[in-house]
């Protein structure tokens, strides 16, 4: 198994949109209404929004491929691109999505390690993220990567307000 990681460009918008919609649906559809899911996917993964986020100077998308097949991606935000303002010394992992066929192969670990590497290079001192309060597998993964629950915020899925845990990790 050969795994490669590369930085995405706006030319990858269709691929990122497809990966994002597929993984979000696979992960959360069973626990949410179809109407709320479709509303969220339509807005959060619109072609225009995805292309815009890929062009944002303070956001970076990293794509992991296994034997040439796109398998996962991560969106990192710094500065004003962060969805919550944690300051100029923080980095947000806004999305870390792994296709179900590629889970438990270490792709998430590889991508999060890339986030830490980039944060160190940029002299940042904290990485943070939001994870749904009911997504226990993701919570366990992030805890194993050194993240701790430090707060919560509201995540809007369609017309439903949900609670995300804020998890942070120090960059050393």
The confidence band for 143, taking pLDDT boundaries of 50, 70 and 90, is very high
Locus of tokens 């999060």: 112
Residue 104 within any structural domain of the chain: yes
CATH classification at residue 83: 3.40.630.30
Give per-residue pLDDT as tens, 116-126: 999 999 999 99
Residue 106 within any structural domain of the chain: yes
**Catalytic site positions:** 142
Q: For residue 47, what are the domain limits?
A: 3-125
Return d(Cα 154, Cα 65) in angstroms, integer. Answer: 32
Residue 170 within any structural domain of the chain: no
If we measure between CA atoms, which residue out of 8, 7, 18, 3 comes closest to residue 107?
A: 3
Residue 146 within any structural domain of the chain: no
Residue 163 within any structural domain of the chain: no
Residue 58 within any structural domain of the chain: yes
If we measure between CA atoms, which residue out of 84, 85, 83, 76 comes closest to residue 119?
A: 76
The confidence band for 162, taking pLDDT boundaries of 50, 70 and 90, is very high
User: Could you give the number of structural domains in the chain?
Assistant: 1
The confidence band for 167, taking pLDDT boundaries of 50, 70 and 90, is very high
Return d(Cα 160, Cα 155) in angstroms, integer. Answer: 8
pLDDT of residue 1: 80
Give per-residue pLDDT as tens, 28-69: 999 999 999 999 999 999 999 999 999 999 999 999 999 999
CB neighbour list of residue 112: distance below 8 Å, 6 or more residues apart: 74, 93, 96, 142, 145
Residue 91 within any structural domain of the chain: yes
Residue 167 within any structural domain of the chain: no
Residue 77, classed as helix, strand or coil, is: strand
């Amino acid at each position: 198994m050969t795994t490669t990681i590369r930085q995405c460009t706006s030319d990858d918008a269709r691929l990122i949109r497809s990966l994002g919609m597929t993984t979000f649906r696979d992960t959360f559809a069973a626990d949410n209404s179809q109407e709320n899911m479709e509303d969220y996917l339509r807005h959060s993964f619109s072609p225009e929004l995805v292309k815009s986020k890929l062009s944002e100077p303070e956001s970076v998308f990293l794509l992991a491929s296994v034997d040439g097949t796109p398998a996962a991606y991560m969106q990192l935000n710094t500065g004003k691109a962060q969805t919550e303002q944690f300051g100029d010394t923080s980095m947000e992992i806004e999305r870390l999505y792994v296709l179900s066929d590629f889970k438990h192969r270490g792709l998430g670990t590889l991508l999060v390690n890339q986030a830490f590497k980039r944060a160190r290079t940029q002299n940042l001192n904290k990485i943070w993220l939001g994870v749904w309060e009911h997504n226990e597998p993701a919570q366990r993964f992030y805890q194993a990567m050194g993240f701790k629950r430090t707060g919560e915020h509201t995540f809007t899925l369609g017309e439903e307000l949900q609670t995300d845990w804020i998890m942070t990790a120090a960059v050393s």
